[in-house]
Structures are given as structure tokens and as C-alpha cells.
């Protein structure tokens, strides 16, 4: 079966990236990660890709002002023939040009049940701190299509996680992260199957119903 080429954008350690890499290696999804790019030189995610022989690139934001940065990303992604873009803890806002280039073929994992605790300023531990402060009884994770807004694109998958009475940011984050890994792999698999079924025809509805 044809494997969909995936490009992953990351800013940190890359545990979500690793879940996708593992799924690809085990044949759980019809895909292969061909490129991992980070805006941070020290991102351990790059090392994860290097260990598996996958092209890994640090693209220095200081060398590409404004939308020139995403134009450089688009150039690299085109070189590798990327069909599906996965944001796995990427802490930059994508430009309209990049989003248009991969319309409905960019997915993001967010550590809450969108539309709660999402949007500008909600990322990483900030999300879990806000959840605990609010007193809500459940949170979770969401995989969604990326559009021009912040966490506003169509939702693909969600799974909830209970907030326990004695939870700390760290304990809650660990449980949510386990769910992130699971639903991200599932969403990647579903998107790739749709792309394969469409014979890579460039259908703009690749990851949507």
C-alpha cells in the first residue's frame, strides 16, 4: 500500500512525534515521516528523527523575517513531497500562505477539549494550570484541522480525561499526554487512509468528513 509522506513541525521534546514514528514503524498507519522541522535548535524532537534516519532541520527564525520563515518551510516540505503536515507541539503561528499550501492537510494536537482552554496563549503547561484553576471535572485532548484562526479548525477527534482532586499540573499533563499520543496516531491514520483512497489527487477535503 502506498505510504503518505508526513512532515512534522515541533518545538520541544517530541513525545507526540515519537508516537507517530512508532506507529509508522509498526505499520499501524499508511504513512512515513520523511521530515521533522523545528524552530528551536535544542528541540530533542530533532534528535528523535536523527536516530531514525529521518531528515531533520532546524530553521532559524532570526534568518527568515515575517512570512519568509514559512516560505522556507514550504520549500523544504515540497522538496520531500510532504502530503500531510502534523503539528506536534509547534509553538509558532503558521502564515496564511502555508495554510493555503496545505489546506485541510495540516493537523494539530491540543491538550484540552476544544473549545475550552484554547486560543491565544493556551499552550503547554498553561493549559493545565488554567484547567486546575477553573475547577472543572474533566479535560482532555483534541486533534483538529489547522485553519487561519488559533485552535479554530474543524475537530477530528477528542477524548476526555478526568481531573482528579489531588491533581498537579504534572500529573494531569501526564494523563492528558497519554491520550494525545493515542488520538494523534488515530487521526494521522484516518487522514492518510483518505489520502490513499483519493490516490493523492490533491482533494482539499483530505482530512475532513
Burial of 7 (0-12, 13-18, 19+ CB in 10 A): buried
Helix (H, G, I), strand (E, B) or coil at 86: strand
Count helices and strands (H / E) in the chain. 6, 7
Write out the H or E segment, with its range, that includes residue 141. strand 138-145
Beta-carbon contacts of residue 166 (< 8 Å; ≥ 6 apart): none
- Closest-CA residue to 52 (of 17, 102, 4, 12): 17
Active-site hit among 2, 110, 128, 144:
110
Is residue 2 part of the annotated active site? The answer reads: no
Run of H or E residues at 32: strand 31-38
Give the β-pairing of 138-145 and 84-87.
unpaired
**Which residues are designated catalytic?**
110
Amino acid at each position: 500500500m502506498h505510504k503518505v509522506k508526513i512532515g512534522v513541525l515541533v518545538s520541544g521534546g517530541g513525545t507526540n512525534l515519537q508516537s507517530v514514528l512508532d506507529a509508522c514503524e509498526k505499520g499501524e498507519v499508511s504513512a512515513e515521516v520523511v521530515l521533522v522541522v523545528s524552530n528551536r535548535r535544542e528541540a530533542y524532537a530533532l534528535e528523535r528523527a536523527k536516530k531514525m534516519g529521518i531528515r531533520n532541520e532546524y530553521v532559524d527564525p532570526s534568518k527568515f523575517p515575517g512570512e519568509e520563515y514559512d516560505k522556507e518551510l514550504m520549500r523544504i516540505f515540497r522538496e520531500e513531497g510532504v502530503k500531510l503536515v502534523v503539528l506536534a507541539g509547534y509553538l509558532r503561528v503558521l502564515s496564511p500562505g502555508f495554510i493555503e499550501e496545505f489546506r485541510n492537510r495540516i493537523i494539530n494536537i491540543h491538550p484540552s477539549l476544544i473549545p475550552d482552554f484554547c486560543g491565544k496563549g493556551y499552550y503547554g503547561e498553561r493549559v493545565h494550570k488554567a484547567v486546575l484553576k477553573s475547577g472543572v471535572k474533566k479535560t482532555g485532548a483534541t486533534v483538529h484541522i489547522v485553519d487561519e484562526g488559533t485552535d479554530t479548525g474543524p475537530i477530528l477527534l477528542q477524548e476526555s480525561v478526568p481531573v482528579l482532586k489531588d491533581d498537579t499540573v504534572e500529573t494531569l499533563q501526564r494523563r492528558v499526554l497519554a491520550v494525545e499520543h493515542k488520538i494523534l496516531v488515530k487521526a494521522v491514520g484516518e487522514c492518510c487512509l483518505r489520502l490513499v483512497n483519493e490516490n493523492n489527487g490533491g482533494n482539499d477535503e483530505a482530512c475532513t468528513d
